[in-house]
Amino acid sequence: MTGEGKPFCAACVQMRSGLDRARNVADALSLIDEAATRGAQFIATPEMTNVVDRKGARLLASLPNEDGLEEIAAFAAAAKRHRVWLLIGSLAVKAVAMKGGEKAANRSFLFRPDGEIVARYDKLHMFDVDLPGGESWKESKLYEAGDAAKVVMTPLANLGLSICYDVRFPHLYRVLSQAGAEVLCVPAAFTRQTGVAHWKTLLSARAIENGAFIVAPAQGGVHEDGRETYGHSMIIGPWGDVLAEADNNAPGIILAEIDRQAVAEARQRIPNLALERDFEIFIINQ
C-alpha cells in the first residue's frame, strides 16, 4: 500500500458484461490482474460488473441475495492477492428489503487490501427515461433505490461513491465533497446515445465544480441483452484535465496518477465548497 498522502496509481476497468455471471467475473478478474501488474493501487470496475440483462424476470430468477453471491468472494480474494483497494462499481444482487414486489439492488462494494468489504453503496437515482428513437429505460421497476450517500476515508484518498445516473444530480457530489471526498467514483453503463451527448461533459463538470478527481469505469459495446453502452472510461483531475481516457468501447484498462494534493490546490484556488451559501427562492408571477 502507498503511504498516506502520497500519489498513487488508479485504474479503470472497462468491460462488456453479458448474461453469464461466471464469465463476466472471470473477465473482470483478468483485467484487475492486469491493472495490478501495471502498478494500480486503486482499481475500479464498472456498473453491473457481474451481469447486464435488461429482462427483469430472467435477471431476478438468476440472482441470489448478497449472502449467496459467489462473485463477492472472488473479488475479495483478488483485492487480498494484489494488496489493492478494489471498487466493484456495482453488482446486481437480489434485494433483501423489498417495497412492492421482488426487486434487485444495484450495489457497489469497496474492498480494502486485506479483502474485507469496508463499504456498500446502493445506487440512489434510478434511470427512468424515454429517449429519442424509442429507447426507454425504467430501472425503478427492477431495482430498489438506495437511500444513503457514502464517503470512505482510506489511506490513499477519501472516496465518494456513486453509480452512473447519479452523475446527473450535482447536489449529491457537492454533499460528498463537502463531507471530505477527494475522489468521486462514477462506475457506469451509460447508453451510447446519452454517452455521446453528455458523458464527458457531465464528468468534467462534477470534477471542476467540486475540485475533485473523477474515476469513471464504464461498460462499452453491444451486450448480449441487446443494449449498447458507450465505454470511454475516464479519469479526470480536479482542474478538469483529462488524465486518462479509453478512446473506444472495448474491454481494457486505463491508468492515471492521483495526487490528493491537487485537490487541496484546486479547492484553494476556487473555494466554492467553503463559500456556498443557503438562500431562499421566490417565484414571481407576472
Instruction: Tell me the catalytic residues.
Output: 47, 123, 164
Residue 235, classed as helix, strand or coil, is strand
- For residue 249, the tally of other CB atoms under 10 A from its CB is 21
How many whole angstroms separate alpha carbon 50 and alpha carbon 122?
Answer: 15
How many whole angstroms separate alpha carbon 114 and alpha carbon 76?
Answer: 8
User: Sign of the CA dihedral 64, 50, 54, 134?
Assistant: positive
Cell of 72: 463477492
CA-closest candidate to residue 5, choices 274, 283, 269, 262: 262
How many whole angstroms separate alpha carbon 76 and alpha carbon 55?
Answer: 28
Contact (CB, 8 A) for 17 and 254: no
How many whole angstroms separate alpha carbon 13 and alpha carbon 252?
Answer: 6
Cell of 58: 430472467
The DSSP H or E segment spanning 86 is: strand 85-94
DSSP calls for 163-209? -GGGGG-HHHHHHHHHTT-SEEE--B--BHHHHHHHHHHHHHHHHHH
Exposed/middle/buried for residue 268 (C-beta within 10 Å: 0-12, 13-18, 19+): exposed
